[in-house]
Amino acid sequence: MTSTDSTSGARSRLPQVRRRPRPVGAPPPPVDARPGTDFIVDCAVYVDGRRQAPVAYDEALHAAVEQDGFVWLGLHEPTEAELAGVAAVYGLHPLAVEDAVEAHQRPKLDSYDDSLFMVLKTARYVEHDALTATSEVVNTGEVMVFLGSHYVITVRHGDHGGLKDLRNSLEGQTELLQLGPSAVLYAVADLVVDHFVEVAEAVEDDVEELEASVFSPSRTDDTPRIYQLKREIMQLRKAVQPLEVPLSTLADRPDELVPDAMRSYFRDVQDHALRVRDQVGGLDELLSNILQAALARISVSQNDDMRRISSYAGLIAAPTLIAGVYGMNFEHMPELGWSFGYPFALLLMAGLCWLLYRGFKRSGWL
């Protein structure tokens, strides 16, 4: 593992864990900085890429520094007090701690004196039998990562995006873990982006279903469903698009916490993220086009309805005109004394209606 400790020649002497000064106006830390451990998913020290014997989270950092390894501490939705206890042990920056507690952050990468703080949005596709105007399609959560020279702390928000399987997989890749805490950051980012790919492919199926419905011969109103899916895609877009800058920074900008050997890994994740970004942008644009087509089809249908109504009104108006003329009760009306006048009037009405119907049919109004 590549270490950024300038005192590497004296590793036998255990350095003191750095404590950051308390900001002005901030409340004093609790006397007992060790909270309950229900929020801790897992805590392990890794030396030369191998997991060591279990150790308490507040003793793990000393053990990692002493053995020239690193700690991977996994947390799930810690409270402010719980995360404050962890921050006191690991010397986390108060601004990063505040962001990790509040959650609902946009993807970003913050650099502090001797640590990095990265926020990633996670996404999960919500299965549904049929897409409706109120369907939840994309569910998002968050994963925050604190990265130091001898520790990596993952803070997860949401009921998905678990990292247990990822940890088990990484523990089988000793060579990757030997590269240090940044290997865990890479693995988390790679997992998040892979989930984006899966969600985008599932959403693409919904878009194709909507497209087929809009252009089907049957008459449907898909506008509410299209609008709802656009709202869901917006959530996915907000999770994917901001990742470009943080991943580019990790891939290209020198940082003592990210060994050069890790940059190609982050560059690969960046490439996948950019492809997902383009895919999501294409789906959003396609949905906009489908929405315009749906609105145009509704307008055409309404015009067809008006033409049919006008045609039938014309068919009714012709016999009404003849009947109205003969119903004026004038004494000198044509054919009043003719015995066939009544059948003639009926035939005249029917013939005129037939001519009008034929004309409307040829013009496509009926």
Q: Quote the pLDDT of residue 363.
A: 73
- Residues 219-277: tens digit of each pLDDT: 778 888 998 999 999 999 999 999 999 999 999 988 899 999 999 999 999 999 999 99
Helix (H) or strand (E) holding 154: strand 151-157
What letter does residue 253 receive in the DSSP assignment?
A: S
CB-CB contact of 232 with 137 (8 Å)? yes
Q: Is the pLDDT of residue 121 over 70?
A: yes
Give the alpha-carbon dihedral of 156, 162, 167, 173, to 10 degrees.
Answer: -110
What average pLDDT does the segment 345-353 reach? 78
Q: Quote the pLDDT of residue 108.
A: 94
Q: Quote the pLDDT of residue 272.
A: 95
Rounded Cα distance, 189 and 174, in Å:
19
CB-CB contact of 40 with 73 (8 Å)? yes
- Residues 213-235: tens digit of each pLDDT: 888 887 778 888 998 999 999 99
**128 or 331, higher pLDDT:** 128
Mean pLDDT of the chain: 83
Tell me the three state secondary structure of residue 180: coil
Q: Angle between the 260-326 and 223-240 helix axes, to the nearest 10 degrees? A: 170
What average pLDDT does the segment 176-187 reach? 95
Q: Quote the pLDDT of residue 240.
A: 93
**62 or 11, higher pLDDT:** 62
What average pLDDT does the segment 33-48 reach? 79
Q: Quote the pLDDT of residue 23.
A: 43
Q: Quote the pLDDT of residue 343.
A: 75
CA distance readout (Å), 131 to 203, 216, 227: 11, 16, 11
